[in-house]
């Protein structure tokens, strides 16, 4: 039974007790009230308050005390005393036991509602997944339930349809809305060789893809599992809270006993009044707000992060990231796109067409960059003959029965560059770009500059980190000239270049001697550094090994995701500390008030209102945590 149902039952059953409390102000007594109160309160104690009794008993058997111990003891004292009072003709206090239960359950309802809200955004992703898929079987496409699709099946996706599962496009071009996975609102162009993710939305063209992952192996399912794990994990500060509660409860019980003895023995109060003071102490001291301070902030914070494309895999990250001073970035595939692209075409009009025609038969990464540029320019390629790869230099072939060359200076050394092209060559090399020279029919057509470009948001991300007092550093195995050129372009001042993969972790350890270090990477060779760093942040496009090593995964592959990760982690941890502060202050103020220390000033607190105050404190902590959904992140 949910806490909400228990709350409703206890509230309805408490109505006669509330009516009688109001009636007493007018000297009105409900007929057979004691029996009505006994029956309704007994049902409340046996049904609605059952979780508190079970939790308190489990803690007692393990020689511990928890927040439910206080609720159980406080309500039990009021309930059993009222039975005794009823049997001996004294005034009963069933309403105390009933209403304390009502108010404690109210706090639990808010906590339960908050838990559901925190994870509902992620859970809805699974509900949005396609239910059917068009699969190629028996010589034609047929509609089958997604559960029947197997790895290796060919699936067709038409405009407006959802991508049913994860896979690799084998035919067609389209724009896909991946916002539900990456948080990025702009559609992404997808072509042959690109991967698609289940539950994303196909916007324009029709394409076919080969299924690579199904069921719990899909990215969407893994995202949900990671978020669930993070929301239920315990940060070190949460363990501190548990220890505080373990010590706090026995202290409260001692204070309650002393309160009873002082009022009854030394101040001459009646046994009933002394008991009510003691019960009020027990009830108001129930550290529900203390217990809610950490988990509520973790659930809201990790849920907010997931919406931004930031998966926080474990709550320990929230505390670890606090105080990080240095953020170290891998270069290729992290700061850069990881794919070389044509950046400069300098020469005659036919230069790019001739180059692409030569590279059409090549498998070199630079060939892919030139062919992509030609396709974007909508150029028609010409067939070549006598194609030959010159190792370490380039390619040569015949185009329209005329010799054509494409390669570096060594391959084309027999051909003289014009002063303009020579100056351009020098300039491109200084910018750390790879330059290919194209020769056709004995004439130099021009130069093509190729480079692995920084990601579009790289410069913005580095500036945002510096603004937050963090120092970005580039760590790469590439040569210093290339690394420095990229660093200068994106605004990184410190570069550590020429580092072999097995040396990256040692470099991180060295940097950590001066303070906490976060490492951002994506490849297999980054896994040791990701594990060594105080916080490992992995690009979502990275390898499975790297994804496992990182404590944070950026599903949108954007560097501003690093900024978002820092913002949401640090603000969540600050919210936890703020919640703990107010929860403790509440108890510091509430216990003396409940014990009657200010009764001479007319300030007293009955057990019922102590229960209400405790519920309100829990609600305030939940509300404080929910404010994480409103804080400014990024930019």
Q: Which residue has the higher pLDDT, 44 or 229?
A: 44
**pLDDT above 90 covers what percent of the chain?**
34
Pick the most confident of 105-114, 267-276, 461-470. 461-470
Once rounded to an integer, what is the mean pLDDT over residues 524-547?
A: 74
What the block records as the tokens of 445 is 């057509």
Tell me, what's the pLDDT at 603? 78
Q: Which residue has the higher pLDDT, 627 or 105?
A: 627
Q: Are residues 54 and 30 in contact, defined by beta-carbon separation less than 8 angstroms?
A: no
Tell me, what's the pLDDT at 419? 92
Tell me, what's the pLDDT at 185? 44
Q: Which residue has the higher pLDDT, 257 or 108?
A: 257
- What Cα–Cα distance (Å) separates residue 434 from each residue in 55, 391, 437? 68, 16, 10
Once rounded to an integer, what is the mean pLDDT over residues 558-581?
A: 90
Q: Are strands 154-157 and 434-440 parallel, antiparallel or unpaired?
A: unpaired
Q: Which residue has the higher pLDDT, 412 or 247?
A: 412
Render pLDDT for 140-153 as a digit per residue (tens, 0 to 9).
999 999 999 999 99
Just list the catalytic residues.
330
Tell me, what's the pLDDT at 607? 66
CA–CA gap between residue 398 and residue 266 (Å, rounded): 111
Render pLDDT for 285-303 as a digit per residue (tens, 0 to 9).
765 666 667 777 888 888 8
Report field, pTM of the whole predicted structure over 0.75: no
Question: 302-329 burial, b if ≥16 CB within 10 A, otherwise e?
Answer: bbbbbebbbbbbbbbbbbbbbebebbbb
Among 116-125, 149-158, 606-615, the minimum mean pLDDT is found in 116-125
Asked whether the predicted pLDDT for residue 261 surpasses 90, the reply is yes
Q: Are residues 551 and 316 in contact, defined by beta-carbon separation less than 8 angstroms?
A: yes
Q: Sorting pLDDT into bands at 50, 70 and 90, what band is 137?
A: very high
What are the backbone dihedrals phi and psi of residue 143, each rounded to the nearest 5 degrees, phi first?
Answer: -85, 125
Instruction: List the 140-145 sheet strands across, edge first.
Output: 140-145, 132-137, 154-157, 207-213, 166-171, 195-196
Render pLDDT for 308-355 as a digit per residue (tens, 0 to 9).
888 887 777 887 888 899 999 998 888 988 778 899 999 998 999 999
Q: What three-state secondary structure class fits 391? A: coil
Domain ranges of the chain: 3-122+230-298+574-630, 339-453
Pick the most confident of 83-92, 297-306, 561-570. 561-570
Q: What is the DSSP letter of 162?
A: B
Render pLDDT for 491-533 as a digit per residue (tens, 0 to 9).
999 999 888 766 888 899 999 999 999 999 886 567 788 888 8
Residues 6+ apart with CB under 8 A from 491: 459, 462, 463, 466, 472
Q: Sorting pLDDT into bands at 50, 70 and 90, what band is 74?
A: confident
User: DSSP string covering 512-531, please?
Assistant: HTTS-EEEEE-SGGGHHHHH
Among 205-214, 231-240, 289-298, 435-444, the minimum mean pLDDT is found in 231-240
* Averaged pLDDT of the chain: 83
Tell me, what's the pLDDT at 548? 62
CATH superfamily, domain at 339-453: Calcium-transporting ATPase, cytoplasmic domain N (3.40.1110.10)
Tell me, what's the pLDDT at 438? 95
Q: Sorting pLDDT into bands at 50, 70 and 90, what band is 183?
A: very low
């Amino acid at each position: 039974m949910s806490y909400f149902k228990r709350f409703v039952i206890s509230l309805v059953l408490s109505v006669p007790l509330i009516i009688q409390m109001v009636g007493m102000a007018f000297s009105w007594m409900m007929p057979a009230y004691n029996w009505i109160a006994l029956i309704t309160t007994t049902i409340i104690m046996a049904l609605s308050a059952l979780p508190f009794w079970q939790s308190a008993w489990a803690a007692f058997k393990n020689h511990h005390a928890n927040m439910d111990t206080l609720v159980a003891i406080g309500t039990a004292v009021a309930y059993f005393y009222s039975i005794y009072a009823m049997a001996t003709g004294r005034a009963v206090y069933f309403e105390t036991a009933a209403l304390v239960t009502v108010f404690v359950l109210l706090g639990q309802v808010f906590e339960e509602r908050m838990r559901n809200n925190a994870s509902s955004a992620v859970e809805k992703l699974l509900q949005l997944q396609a239910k059917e898929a068009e699969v190629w079987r028996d010589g034609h496409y047929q509609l089958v339930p997604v559960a029947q699709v197997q790895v290796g099946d060919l699936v067709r996706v038409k405009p407006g349809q959802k991508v049913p599962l994860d896979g690799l496009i084998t035919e067609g071009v389209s724009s896909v809305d991946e916002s539900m996975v990456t948080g990025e609102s702009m559609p992404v162009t997808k072509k042959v060789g690109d991967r698609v993710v289940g539950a994303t939305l196909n916007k324009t063209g029709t394409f076919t893809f080969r299924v690579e992952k199904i069921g719990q192996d899909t990215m969407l399912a893994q995202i949900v599992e990671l978020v669930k794990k993070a929301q239920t994990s315990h940060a070190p500060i949460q363990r501190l809270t548990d220890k505080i509660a373990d010590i706090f409860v026995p202290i409260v019980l001692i204070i309650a006993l002393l309160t009873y003895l002082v009022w009854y023995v030394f101040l001459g109060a009646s046994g009933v009044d002394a008991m009510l003071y003691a019960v009020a102490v027990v009830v108001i001291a129930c550290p529900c707000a203390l217990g809610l301070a950490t988990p509520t902030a973790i659930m809201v914070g990790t849920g907010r992060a997931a919406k931004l494309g930031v998966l926080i895999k474990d709550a320990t990250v929230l505390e670890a990231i606090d105080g990080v001073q240095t953020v170290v970035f891998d270069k290729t595939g992290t700061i850069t796109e990881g794919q070389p692209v044509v950046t400069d075409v300098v020469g005659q009009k036919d230069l790019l067409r001739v180059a692409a025609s030569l590279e059409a038969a090549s498998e070199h990464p630079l060939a892919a960059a030139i062919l992509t540029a030609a396709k974007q320019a909508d150029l028609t390629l010409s067939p070549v003959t006598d194609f030959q790869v010159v190792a370490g230099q380039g390619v040569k072939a015949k185009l329209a029965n005329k010799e054509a060359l494409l390669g570096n200076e060594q391959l084309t050394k027999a051909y003289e560059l014009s002063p303009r092209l020579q100056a351009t060559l020098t300039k491109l090399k200084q910018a750390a770009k790879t330059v290919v020279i194209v020769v056709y029919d004995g004439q130099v057509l021009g130069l093509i500059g190729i480079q692995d470009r920084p990601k579009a948001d790289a410069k913005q991300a580095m500036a945002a980190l510096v603004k937050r007092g963090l120092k970005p550093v580039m760590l790469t195995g590439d040569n210093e000239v290339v690394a420095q050129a990229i660093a200068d372009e994106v605004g990184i001042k410190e570069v550590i270049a020429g580092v072999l993969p097995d040396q990256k972790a040692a470099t991180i350890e060295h940097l950590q001697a001066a303070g906490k270090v976060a490492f951002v990477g994506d490849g297999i060779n980054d896994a040791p550094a990701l594990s060594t760093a105080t916080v490992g942040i992995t690009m979502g496009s990275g390898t499975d090994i790297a994804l496992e090593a990182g404590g944070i995964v950026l599903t949108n592959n954007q560097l501003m995701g690093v900024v978002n990760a820092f913002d949401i982690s640090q603000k969540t941890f600050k919210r936890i500390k703020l919640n703990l502060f107010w929860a403790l202050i509440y108890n510091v103020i509430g216990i003396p008030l409940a014990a009657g220390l200010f009764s001479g000033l007319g300030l007293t607190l009955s057990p019922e209102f102590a229960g209400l105050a405790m519920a309100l404190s829990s609600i305030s902590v939940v509300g404080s945590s929910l404010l994480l959904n409103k804080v400014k992140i990024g930019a």
